Amino acid sequence: MFGVLKDLFGGVEEMVEMAEGSRVSELMAGFEQRAAGRSELFRSIAVAVNQEYVQVSHVLRDGDEVALLPPVSGGLR
């Protein structure tokens, strides 16, 4: 987890067990449910599986590394 998600969930890494054939959307729904009043964050999160951006319809496999990337702001002036 990165940025505000790291603070929200108390760490950068978490192991999650999912049923075979689960999709990214199901993983995201579980995290959104745990986000207690911060579900708006999940409308603009990018997701990468094994370091490649994926859609929420992507099917997860055993051992996949999923990165949740919240939107960022700012930059160089």
Q: Give the torsion sign (CA, 66, 69, 53, 57).
A: positive
State yes or no: pLDDT of 74 exceeds 70: no
69 backbone dihedrals φ, ψ, rounded to 5°: -115, 105
Write down the H helix ranges in 12-54. Answer: 24-34
**pLDDT single digits (tens) 14-65:** 888 999 999 999 998 888 888 877 777 777 888 999 999 999 999 999 999 9
Domain ranges within the chain, ordered by starting residue = 3-69
Domain range 3-69, CATH architecture: Roll (3.10)
Is pLDDT larger for residue 67 or for residue 4? Answer: 67
7 backbone dihedrals φ, ψ, rounded to 5°: -70, -40
CA distance 54 to 30: 18
**pLDDT single digits (tens) 16-27:** 899 999 999 999
